[in-house]
Amino acid sequence: MSIRRSLPTRRPMSAVAFTAGLVLTVAGCGGGGDGDEPDKASKSSASPHKSDGKGKDSREPADNPPLAEAKGDGVTLVITSANRDGGGFVTVSGKVTNTSGGLWTGGQWRGDEQELQKNGGSVAGASLVDGEGKKRYLVLRDTSGRCLCTKFEGGLDSGQTVDWFAQFPAPPEGTNKVSFQVGTMPPAPIELSEGE
């Protein structure tokens, strides 16, 4: 009879002891160690923000001034980065704000080439100009003729700001100063930086 009474008591006691052991094990693994290794969770790693292209991006750091700004065509174009990437291309990105009183479609930025006409309102007609090397680099395209750039679907309402990007073939190493040109906007001199 003493065996029957002790078995039901042992099971809950064993479960409590097992659970306590698991809790202590998990708590022991969650610490920062002996201080030799920095706490990975405390490092902040900013992930790239993907905008839906419909409004302002409030995450842009205020301490990073734009590389260039140009006004014309009823818009203000701001270039915030121009990075040389490992794949042999340059990605230029920034923001465009419609400063006109009406809808801006970006049609004048798509370029004059027949192949670019199917890109609609986009940055397809942009180029990077290397003044020293006397070379012009056009926006990259896929095999269907679509630009590797932002398309302004539906246009921009007056006062609206959206993010944009365009990818170009990379100028030779050592060429870091180029001008960004699109439409009838004035050329915007920029300096290329190495990608991450």
For 59-144, list the strands marked E by DSSP.
68-72, 75-85, 89-98, 127-130, 135-138
Tell which CATH architecture fits domain 68-194: Sandwich (2.60)
pLDDT at res. 47: 37
Ordered by start, the domain boundaries in the chain are: 2-31, 68-194
Rounded CA-CA distance 155/153 in Å is 6
- Partners of 141 in beta bridges: 147
Tens digits of pLDDT across the chain (196 residues)? 445 554 555 554 444 444 444 444 434 444 444 444 444 443 333 333 434 444 444 444 456 789 999 998 889 999 999 999 888 999 999 999 999 989 998 888 887 777 777 777 888 889 999 998 999 999 998 888 888 999 888 889 999 999 999 999 999 988 999 999 998 899 999 999 986 5
Tokens 């270039």, residue located: 79
Rounded CA-CA distance 73/160 in Å is 15
